[in-house]
A and B are shown apart, each in its own frame.
Chain A
């Protein structure tokens, strides 16, 4: 599970360099998120622009990552493609996460 992170402005941006977040990698995703965000101090923006597909297990892993960050470091999402966005909308998880159209949009004041 290839993730990278870098501090940008007021946020830590975590980018997922994988085409899928699904049941076969959900646990690794959660573990890698914990490693990449253990020094987070403020909001974390998860950049999903390279992700083509997510299933409900992948969605659950993102929810778990949000919960392990706790209330102090909100997890926001950016760069959802049409199918990924559909999964968030149908499950109404789009009402739980702040979702930015693009990574750039996450930094528009």
Chain B
């Protein structure tokens, strides 16, 4: 498990989800998230934006950090305070290239219809919707991404 590092996400997070690094597990995790967000205490929250951001973050972890791996593990913690979701995502995948977060420039759409891009939108969506995005690579071989999503 991810679990021995002192910076491990608090198990008492408002929402805590662990998953394996596959697209199907990402879908299941997001459905679990949505289910928890419709629970009474969070019923007034804007679940949609949080779900979009987490989907893109998790897809990136699965497609890049955990590419070609079958032992990928991801932990998500979301805490709600001051009309804001504070989110941490940890995984045991490869480090971000140059230890840098992608800049999130949206692909250029000024081109012929049949040359339109089919990808490259993920980090643009994250950067459009999340704030205070931070990234740390830990010596334990984990990535930790943190960000804030205003409700």
A residues contacting the other copy or chain, number (CB 8 A):
27
A59 at the interface (CB under 8 A from B): yes
A95 at the interface (CB under 8 A from B): yes
* Chain B contacts for A20, CB-based, 8 A: 27
Q: Report the minimal beta-carbon distance from B94 to chain A, rounded to whole angstroms.
A: 18
Closest Cβ neighbor of A65 among chain B residues: B118
A22/B27 in contact, CB under 8 A: yes
B109/A96 in contact, CB under 8 A: yes
A51 at the interface (CB under 8 A from B): no
Interface residues of chain A: helix, strand, loop or mixed (majority): helix
Q: Which of A24, A53, A61 contacts B51 (CB 8 A)?
A: A53
* Chain B contacts for A86, CB-based, 8 A: 48-49, 52
Give the interface of B toward A (CB within 8 A).
23-24, 26-27, 30, 48-49, 51-52, 55-56, 59, 62-63, 106-107, 109, 113-114, 116-119, 121-122, 124-125, 128-129
11 contacts between A and B (CB under 8 A): A23-B62, A24-B24, A53-B51, A56-B122, A60-B118, A60-B121, A63-B116, A70-B114, A83-B51, A92-B106, A96-B109
